[in-house]
Structure 1
Amino acid sequence: MGLLDSVKAKLSPAKDKVSGLAQQHGDRIQHGIDKAAKVVDEKTKGKYSGTIQTGTGKAKDAMERLAHTDGTKGPGDGSAPPASPPPTS
């Protein structure tokens, strides 16, 4: 067993726990992502709105992938519309 295999084996329980938390609290996590994006956008006075929206979308997609690692379908896999970007002020 190589080093990478050993690390993967040790991190597997953590991934399962994170996946479970993402399933339980997905809506709260997405709300937090939107809230953080809005604050950063306000602090930068809209200068980086496009970059913030891109990052927010990627963060939400990653969270959805974690929440649906059990084989169920969810947003981003063609079964539902993608998450909307955060509102700009």
Structure 2
Amino acid sequence: MGFDELKDKAKDLIGQHGDKVDQGVERAGQFADEKTGGQHSEHIDKGEEKLKEGLRNFGDQQQ
């Protein structure tokens, strides 16, 4: 399986399961927030939103 095939498969999965992807990003953000003692909550929240937006755009791209 080549890189293009993997990329297409990732796009399909993100497009089909965007809600699960968002949940995973939020869980990762919560984990990072806990590990930093809440000191960087604002930055982590912004990063979560940017990542979710980027993944949605990636999953919605036409092939």
| TM bracket, shorter-chain basis | 0.7 to 0.9
Unaligned runs of 5+ in 1: 1-9, 72-89
CA RMSD in angstroms, aligned pairs only? 1.7
Q: 1:65 Cα deviation (Å)?
A: 0.8
Deviations 1:12-33 (A, max 9, x none): 3222111001012111110011
Q: 1:43 Cα deviation (Å)?
A: 1.9
Q: Does 1:48 align with 2:48?
A: no
The DSSP-based 3-state class of the residue aligned with 2:17 is helix
Unaligned runs of 5+ in 2: none
Instruction: Map 1:25-36 onto structure 2 (within 5 A).
Output: 25-36=17-28
In our comparison, the structure showing a higher alpha carbon Rg is 1
> Which residue does 2:10 correspond to in 1?
18
Higher helix proportion (structure 1 or 2): 2
Runs (4 or more) in structure 1 with deviation over 4 Å come to none
Q: How much identity, in percent, do the aligned residues show?
A: 32
> Which residue does 2:59 correspond to in 1?
67
Deviations 1:14-70 (A, max 9, x none): 221110010121111100111111121122111111221121111101110111012
Using structure 1 for the length normalisation, give the TM-score. 0.61
- Aligned length, in residue pairs: 62
Find the aligned partners of 1:39 and 1:13 in 2 and give their Cα distance. Answer: 31
Q: Does 1:38 align with 2:30?
A: yes
